[in-house]
Structure 1
Amino acid sequence: MPSLDDVFSGAGLLAKTIDGFRPRQAQTDMANAVANAITHSDSLIVEAGTGTGKTFAYLAPVLLSKGKAIVSTGTKNLQEQLFHRDLPLIRKALASNRKTALLKGRANYLCLHRLAQHGGNSTLVEADVLNELSTVRAWANTTKSGDIGEIKTLPEDARVIPLVTSTVDNCLGRECPDYEDCYLVKARKNAMDADIVVVNHHLFFADMALRDTGFGELIPEADCIVFDEAHQIPEIASEYFGEAISTRQLTEICKEITLLYRTVLKDAEQLERAGEKVRMQAADLRLLFSDKSQRGHWLEAMKRDEVATQVSRLEDAVGVLYDICKLHLGRDKDLDNLFDRIVQSREKLALFTTKEHDGMSLWYETTPRHIVLHMTPLSIAAKFRRFVESDDRGWVFTSATLVVDGEFTHFQRRMGLENAKTMLLDSPFDYAKQAMLCVPRYLPEPHQPAMRSQLADIAKRLIKASGGRCFLLFTSHAALQEVAATLQSQIDNPVLVQGSTSKQALLRQYLADPAAVLLGTGAFWEGVDVRGNDLVCVMIDKLPFAAPDDPLLQARLEECRKKGGNPFGTIQIPQAVITLKQGAGRLIRDPSDAGVLVICDNRLVTKPYAQTFLGSLPAMKRTRDLAEVESFLAAIEHQSGSSQSDKSKETTKESAEEQQ
């Protein structure tokens, strides 16, 4: 078996497989640390700066170890990239025969039973979904994996997808007539048989919180668990360690009751009427809140008489549905499953009528048509610590953004990993030469009305100096829309705005036009990889502090105060620093990149906490003069000459090596 030195040296296995591979000491150091964590069943936290090569640094020791490993990534896109591009490349370099598997959440796999349910009932499906249903049926005759993502003509949010996939609630499990042919069962069996399984954080924590069955068989078998993009874990884990119920879930139950009534239970009219009553009461509850999507404190909302009354009516309607459904138990397996879901819904609704829940935040959020009630733990540290310490296995947590002002304390405290080993690996890029940081002079305060027109003016100067090729990142949709409207009326460059189409479609449009400018909010602050001269300027509107009226954040701040802590210093600043580092990380992605980061927030100069932010960013050349920024961009343009037309279309080998 090759050693890690054999893998990462200048004449090693990766150098022989990947054109242009360059050994990096930080990458080798991380690989050795990961190997030690696996061997000694330790917990390891690694911040690996952009360009370190962290993906290969954990994949190599995982492939060279003998046990089973789970690798969890932040998103499905990263999951597929890791499985289809990075893993095959390093497996080839190591000549490894270790078996790998990709496992997604159940909502990604076709459910044959639900597809059959909609076979002859087109009257229950809206006309605009029928074409999508026909597309799915045609594809279902040829697919081997059942992965809905194979249907490239379907948008990610296609309305047909919930109709032909299962949820934890409506899955019949072994009682399903199509169990033997179930694509999800097959995917899980492949994962059980594999040595290395690639999942995503949502799937991992859905199982850990015992909300899903089947995949839970996999975790106990793992000798090593690696979390990439680990900075996302605290929020995702909190979501799954709590409870939630939405009017959408209740509406889905009622729709399925109607489907059963019209097909196999045609004598159960009273059941269908009870379901319709629940649907109406759920809709009436949503109508008591603003048309706009919002978040708020649930216990505050319950002080409104009309809300408390409507929740009581909804509970009563669900109770009646429970009683009537109970009379029909045993007649149909789908109905028996619906009864179990009604029981769970009653229990969850009851949680949200109780006044006090220690250590939990009760809050709600609305969508255009539904309301979701959440009960979220204020801290997951104790529960996660117990989980990590319950078995002897290696744990690796890595990201480019875990450290705040040189310390891992914030992440360790949130995850209960105070005893974990830590490693900080700086990026190999020469930021002092490659990049410039500018905080423009004479800015209004971030909250002042004049700020948005100032942002538009600065953006115009940057776009003109760079010829396009800019990301303009915003902390709010309102600021994004206002600046976008101004730019669209005043510049000739294509202005691409988040929300106008899918994220991937926007990126394709951006890369196809060297004059394009892209405006985005949270979705574009991380996980976007644009290299070379396709991106030479990133402008951020202000420091990304979380919205102060967010009910979950408010509850955490209050909890911190009760314990005598400083909530601003221990919660708000660290979270904002990590988000800012993610946004700044879009700029320099490989050794030949150059560009400018402009942060339009004078608090980076005037506030005592400014050094915490600045000290957490790469050591770029700094200025407050936009004229210097324009000169720097002009120099980039001069050096690249006419290379705008030379879009960064690296080969798979080049891209994979640099991506690491």
Structure 2
Amino acid sequence: MSEFERWRSREAVGPGGPLARRIPGFAPRPAQQKMAHAVEKALESRKTLVAESGTGTGKTYAYLVPALLSGLRVIVSTGTRTLQDQLFRRDLPRVRDALELPARVALLKGRGNYLCLHRLGVTAEEGRFATRAQSAEFQRIRAWAFGTRSGDIAEAGEVPEESELWPRVTSTADNCLGGQCAHYDECFVNRARREAAGAELLVVNHHLFFADLALREEGFAQLLPSADAVIFDEAHQLPEIASDFFGVTLSSHQLRNLGRDTISEDLREASGLATLRPAAEALEKAVQDFRLAFGIEARRDHWDRVAGTGAFKDALRALHEHLEELTVQLETVAGRGPGLANCARRSQALRERLERFEAGPLDEIAWFETGPRSFMLRLTPLSIAREFGSRIAGLGAKAWVYTSATLAVGEDFSHFTGQLGLEDAHTARWESPFDYASQALLYVPPGLPDPASRDYTLRVVEAALPVLRASEGRAFLLFTSHRALRIAAEQLAGRLDYPLFVQGTAARAQLLERFVAAGNGVLLGTASFWEGVDVKGPTLSCVVIDKLPFGSPEDPVLKARSEAMTAAGRNPFREFQLPEAVIALKQGAGRLIRDAADRGVLVICDPRLLSRSYGRLFLDSLPPMPLTRAQADVERFFREAGAVDTDTATL
């Protein structure tokens, strides 16, 4: 037994503990010690803890230490694959080594993150690529496939993760052949699952966790091994992710893949049915026509807004008929091989989903999203509290820890716990140790109109320009809509002496790398840049937020849930829309100060922050920093910052 296995968690992260002695640069923090103790108690008692831990408290170590010292089998679930990799490859090894514990750890992602040897072979046999660049990328994937042990596509550095080839050489729950696959024994997904089954601490992500819950409900084998405790990091994302998984989804991507895979497997397994390929091609054409029935523009709306029109009904009927025809034909050839059998099963499942939409929702919200060439139909539960609670209860007695930097509204956790039905949870909150009073300044520009004004974004840009000059670039401009982002990008083009980076012009990771490398850039982003972005140092010294991030009143899910709350005699603005906006603002504001040495200005342009009574709730939820309405104060703040050393910036 290591000498450190006898440590309690609070002492292990304390001044004389193993982390302080063995991790370079580790600084003991009282809030971290308190959180580690609270997590330890939750693990020992198999209770539920909901813990908000402000930026800089070191919450990752605060839950990893008690998890490793507990001797329990623990699942840690993170918000994104990026955070999952960071936790597994950086934070977890440091803590485990410092504690000198021989704990078995493993990383498990969704199957779409692992190379599929069957689909790699199918793609090679087809030999069809849209461009020479794609063909070259495929050859690099094949070369990497011969040497990889994990099959994790994140390790194939020469092929970008956004490459269109990855969906052709990875599998989904729909198209996986399972035990019938010729590569079953050497499958990378199965290898990762075997390692996960033997791990004492397993790192997953929220999407995989909920996919496992969905499979358990349907009676299939579980993806995740049984565990004594589950720790959710970035837990504020859970309500939205759970809503997706507890609902029903049907997409153009699923239908097109079915048609394409049917043609591929027909060639591979020689069905001998001459009408099979034409039926698959007819489905693909019906999918295209159905997309056009929604209109040309990309939109997000309620199903009832389109379902009653004649043209839409005709396109829906045609889609159903072609999907049904393909299903019938696939059933006749399913015995010819595992690939065709898989296509038959998928076709039947997709037909059943389509019939759910045609029949109309029960206690669900029926809505859709469209892109330039795609559509996604969704049935989303009005509330997930009961379903989430029952499924969690069905997993047996476990410890549950939910943690994030943004879970509370002020001091109140009821919005988060109510959404997930966590009625008996113990809650705790620890402030950030950063000195916001001296490190940060909150600036609310004077004279801006109501955000509903037609020229609001133009006025925001004009208010931001002098701030950007004072900060010498080094800023994020965060918008609540893609439309506002496009307008701002057009207005700023050619008016700045600093590099301009705009979301949508490159992959998110590439934009961040270029922003940091530039040292004085200005990055414009929407939702995906409001959270999960960690840029330390003076390279990010200013965050401008265009307006308070209330959800769109026309959003179909928000609208339906608000109407249901109103019908029940509740106040949807106070009970749902306002808390959601407060938590979102906390996430955006949290991009600014990421280190004890950081200094910066947070600019919130929305005048409602000071003019409306609910503005106080937003202010009370932000870190305590001085507030000003004078541009001169902003300029003075940056002058006092002194010389800027952009070489110290890190991602």
**C-alpha distance in structure 1 between counterparts of 2:280 and 2:397, whole Å:** 48
Cα offset, 1:90, TM superposition: 0.4
**C-alpha distance in structure 1 between counterparts of 2:338 and 2:251, whole Å:** 24
Matched, 1:343 2:348: yes
From the superposition, tell whether residues 418 and 5 of structure 1 become closer, same or farther in structure 2 (CA, over 3 Å). closer
Q: Which residue of 2 aligns with 1:249?
A: 254
Q: Which residue of 2 aligns with 1:573?
A: 578
Q: Which residue of 1 aligns with 2:378?
A: 374
AA aligned opposite 1:648: A
Matched, 1:598 2:603: yes
Structure 1: which 5+ runs fail to align? 650-654, 656-660
**4+ residue stretches of structure 1 with deviation over 6 A?**
211-215
Question: Over residues 250-273 of structure 1, what are the superposed CA-to-partner deviations in whole Å (9 max), with x where a residue is unaligned?
Answer: 111111121133333262221111
Contact between 2:520 and 2:539, CA under 8 Å: does it hold in 1? no
Q: How does 1:87-106 map to 2 (within 5 A)?
A: 87-106=92-111
- Higher alpha-carbon deviation: 114-123 or 9-18: 114-123
Contact between 1:114 and 1:164, CA under 8 Å: does it hold in 2? yes
Q: Which residue of 2 aligns with 1:389?
A: 393
Q: How does 1:110-259 map to 2 (within 5 A)?
A: 110-123=115-128, 128-210=133-215, 217=222, 219=224, 221-259=226-264
Q: Which residue of 1 aligns with 2:336?
A: 331
Q: Which residue of 1 aligns with 2:22?
A: 17
**C-alpha distance in structure 1 between counterparts of 2:491 and 2:432, whole Å:** 37
AA aligned opposite 1:358: L
Q: Which residue of 1 aligns with 2:469?
A: 464
AA aligned opposite 1:44: L
AA aligned opposite 2:118: H
Cα offset, 1:94, TM superposition: 0.4
Contact between 1:495 and 1:517, CA under 8 Å: does it hold in 2? yes
Q: How does 1:605-620 map to 2 (within 5 A)?
A: 605-620=610-625
Q: How does 1:255-654 map to 2 (within 5 A)?
A: 255-265=260-270, 267-355=272-360, 357-390=361-394, 391-636=396-641, 638=642, 641=643, 643-648=644-649
Question: Over residues 226-276 of structure 1, what are the superposed CA-to-partner deviations in whole Å (9 max), with x where a residue is unaligned?
Answer: 000000000001100011111221111111121133333262221111112
> Number of matched residues?
645
Question: Over residues 609-635 of structure 1, what are the superposed CA-to-partner deviations in whole Å (9 max), with x where a residue is unaligned?
Answer: 111111111111011111111111111
**C-alpha distance in structure 1 between counterparts of 2:241 and 2:30, whole Å:** 32
**C-alpha distance in structure 2 between counterparts of 1:404 and 1:281, whole Å:** 47
Q: Which residue of 2 aligns with 1:652?
A: none
Question: Over residues 78-112 of structure 1, what are the superposed CA-to-partner deviations in whole Å (9 max), with x where a residue is unaligned?
Answer: 00000000000000110011011011110011111
Question: Over residues 186-233 of structure 1, what are the superposed CA-to-partner deviations in whole Å (9 max), with x where a residue is unaligned?
Answer: 000000011111001111111111189999536461101000000000
Contact between 1:511 and 1:647, CA under 8 Å: does it hold in 2? no
Q: Which SS does the other structure have where 1:646 is aligned? A: helix
Cα offset, 1:167, TM superposition: 0.8
From the superposition, tell whether residues 119 and 254 of structure 1 become closer, same or farther in structure 2 (CA, over 3 Å). same
- Higher alpha-carbon deviation: 169-178 or 206-215: 206-215
Question: Over residues 444-485 of structure 1, what are the superposed CA-to-partner deviations in whole Å (9 max), with x where a residue is unaligned?
Answer: 111213322222222211111111111111111222122222
Cα offset, 1:300, TM superposition: 2.7
**C-alpha distance in structure 2 between counterparts of 1:648 and 1:247, whole Å:** 42
**C-alpha distance in structure 2 between counterparts of 1:147 and 1:214, whole Å:** 27
Normalised by the length of structure 2, the TM-score is 0.96
Cα offset, 1:27, TM superposition: 0.8
- Higher alpha-carbon deviation: 11-20 or 401-410: 11-20
**C-alpha distance in structure 1 between counterparts of 2:258 and 2:134, whole Å:** 19
From the superposition, tell whether residues 349 and 214 of structure 1 become closer, same or farther in structure 2 (CA, over 3 Å). closer
AA aligned opposite 2:464: A
Question: Over residues 284-328 of structure 1, what are the superposed CA-to-partner deviations in whole Å (9 max), with x where a residue is unaligned?
Answer: 111112323211111331111111122112111122212222222
Cα offset, 1:600, TM superposition: 0.3
**C-alpha distance in structure 2 between counterparts of 1:372 and 1:212, whole Å:** 23
From the superposition, tell whether residues 213 and 503 of structure 1 become closer, same or farther in structure 2 (CA, over 3 Å). farther
- Higher alpha-carbon deviation: 209-218 or 449-458: 209-218
AA aligned opposite 1:49: G
From the superposition, tell whether residues 518 and 122 of structure 1 become closer, same or farther in structure 2 (CA, over 3 Å). same
**C-alpha distance in structure 1 between counterparts of 2:370 and 2:424, whole Å:** 39
**C-alpha distance in structure 1 between counterparts of 2:483 and 2:107, whole Å:** 38
Cα offset, 1:73, TM superposition: 0.4
Q: Which residue of 2 aligns with 1:658?
A: none
AA aligned opposite 2:181: C
Cα offset, 1:126, TM superposition: 5.8
Instruction: Please tell me the root mean square deviation across aligned C-alpha atoms, in Å.
Output: 1.7
Contact between 2:478 and 2:544, CA under 8 Å: does it hold in 1? yes
Cα offset, 1:532, TM superposition: 2.1
**C-alpha distance in structure 2 between counterparts of 1:420 and 1:150, whole Å:** 39
AA aligned opposite 1:495: L
**C-alpha distance in structure 2 between counterparts of 1:214 and 1:98, whole Å:** 31
**C-alpha distance in structure 2 between counterparts of 1:431 and 1:513, whole Å:** 26
From the superposition, tell whether residues 48 and 531 of structure 1 become closer, same or farther in structure 2 (CA, over 3 Å). same
Cα offset, 1:646, TM superposition: 3.2
Contact between 2:144 and 2:156, CA under 8 Å: does it hold in 1? yes
**C-alpha distance in structure 2 between counterparts of 1:138 and 1:618, whole Å:** 50
Cα offset, 1:32, TM superposition: 0.9
Match of 1:82 among 70, 82, 87: 87
Cα offset, 1:128, TM superposition: 4.6
AA aligned opposite 1:389: A
**C-alpha distance in structure 1 between counterparts of 2:221 and 2:604, whole Å:** 44
From the superposition, tell whether residues 57 and 227 of structure 1 become closer, same or farther in structure 2 (CA, over 3 Å). same
Question: Over residues 151-179 of structure 1, what are the superposed CA-to-partner deviations in whole Å (9 max), with x where a residue is unaligned?
Answer: 11212221111111111111111111110
- Higher alpha-carbon deviation: 395-404 or 326-335: 326-335
Cα offset, 1:522, TM superposition: 0.9
